[in-house]
Amino acid sequence: MTNTNEDAVVTASSPGKIIIVGEHFVVHEAYAVAAAINKRVTVIASKNGTRKVRFVSQGRDYYFPGTLARRFFPAPSSVMNEIFERFGKCEEGMSIEIRSEIPRGSGLGSSAAVSVATAAAVTRIMGKKLSLEEISKIAMKGEAAIHGNPSGIDVETSLRGGVVLFSKSSGAKPIALEKGIEIIIAFSGKGRNTSALISSVALIRKKYPNTFAHLVESSSFLSLQAVDALCRGDLPYLGAIMNIAQPILDWIGVSNDKLDRMLEDARSGRVFGAKITGAGGGGSIIVLPRPGTSKEVIDRLEAESKYVFSTLIPQEGLKVEQ
């Protein structure tokens, strides 16, 4: 790849996320709590002097705009559209290389991380220094291309890092932890369509409006309690909240046999709590281990999952290097 000038390379990286409590209900205005994890998406933008824009990732190489770019890079394509609409095209052309440690469809926020890192890298290479709020607005276009009607929690967590209490009306509030907390994550291997799951939950709301309204309110209470437990380092209480949140997610139809089996396996070990994280229907579970038991829990989960790892929360948000 030839650059028109050697300085014209920007590397931006952004973390994936877990939702500790409150997924789905957050779309309907409840509070939810999320945390950045130790898996990241890195986007390297460089001017290429060809007057064309290229996406490169995992052996794929497509020009933007184009049908294949839109099909294989839907989130970055929507982010690029938004950037060019706001700031005009980059006449010199650029290459945008995407490297991800987060499996797609794993419920670990890969679309938000790629949207945030693309928005930051591309605007910076075009000479714009944007605020976090502006990057968030652009990244939301990428997230919407995948999720249809996202709450914004994934983008805000990926952007800011750490642990955040989020609601659509009040935005993201950072939560400072005195001590890091270890959480184990296991991907079921089954991808899913977040947009379809959000729509199916909207149908449950239509069918049971009163019950759903109570669950939205209860989910907010659980989220606020989870913040207290996180701040106190009260892991048994946090685990109890996770355990109670899970059957509620099951009731709205976003768990399944595979996830239930993984949760059952996780709970046969010494853990405080476990639940699915994110949209469900596939994706991942999170497990809060008792101190000193994480290896044992990971070994147990490896029988069901090829992608199990542990993360300490909190982790750093968006990083940009030029």
- Interface characters, 221-260, with ligand PMV (x: CB under 6 A): ----------------------------------------
Site string for ligand PMV, 33-72 (x = CB under 6 A): ----------------------------------------
Backbone dihedral angles phi then psi of residue 56, each to the nearest 5 degrees? -130, 130
Residue 27 in contact with ligand PMV, rule: CB under 6 A: yes
Half-sphere CA count of 188, side-chain side, radius 13 A:
27
Which position among 24, 124, 205, 275 is part of the footprint of ligand PMV (CB under 6 A)?
24
Residue 154 CA, chain-centre distance (Å), reads: 4
46 phi-psi bin (left φ>0, alpha ψ -120 to 50, beta other): beta
Among 76, 269, 278, 282, binds ligand PMV (CB under 6 A): 278
- Per-residue contact track with ligand PMV, 91 to 110, x per CB under 6 A? ----------------x-x-
- A 10 A CB-CB count for 235 gives 19
Interface stretch with ligand PMV, choices 82-90, 180-188, 219-227, 277-285 (CB under 6 A): 277-285
Q: Answer for the pair 283, 23: CB distance below 8 angstroms, yes or no.
A: no
Q: Closest-CB residue for ligand PMV?
A: 278
- Binders of ligand PMV among residues 189 to 218 (CB under 6 A) are 194, 198
The DSSP result for 12-39, as a single string, is: EEEEEEEEEE-TTGGGGT--EEEEEEEE
Using CB under 6 A as the binding rule, whether residue 76 contacts ligand PMV is answered as no
Q: Rounded to an integer, what distance in angstroms lies between the CA atom of residue 118 and that of residue 314? A: 22
281 binds ligand PMV (CB under 6 A): no
> Of the two residues 46 and 100, which places its CB atom closer to ligand PMV in the complex?
100
Of 117, 133, 112, 151, the closest CA to residue 17 belongs to: 112
Q: Residue 262 in 3-state DSSP?
A: helix
At 95, is the secondary structure helix, strand, or coil?
strand
Work out how close the CB of 246 gets to ligand PMV at its nearest, in angstroms, rounded to a whole number.
Answer: 14
Q: Which two tokens stand for residue 163?
A: 């642990």
Residues in the chain: 322
Is residue 282 a contact residue for ligand PMV (CB under 6 A)? no
b/e code 191-205 from CB counts within 10 Å (16+ = b): ebbbbebbeebeebb
Give whichever of 154 and 304 is closer to ligand PMV, judged by the CB atom.
154
Q: Pick one of 12, 23, 163, 181: the residue that binds ligand PMV (CB under 6 A).
A: 23
Tell whether residue 142 is a contact of ligand PMV (CB under 6 A).
Answer: no
| Residues 246, 273: Cα–Cα separation, whole Å | 10
The catalytic residues are: 154
Count other C-beta atoms under 10 Å from residue 283's C-beta.
26
Piece of 24-32, 207-215, 262-270, 288-296 that binds ligand PMV (CB under 6 A): 24-32
User: Cα angle vertex 113, ends 296, 185, to 5°?
Assistant: 10
Report the residue number, 269 or 278, with the smaller CB distance to ligand PMV: 278
Q: Which of 76, 283, 314, 317 binds ligand PMV (CB under 6 A)?
A: 283
Site residues (vs ligand PMV, CB under 6 A): 19, 23-24, 26-27, 107, 109, 147, 150-151, 153-154, 194, 198, 278-279, 283
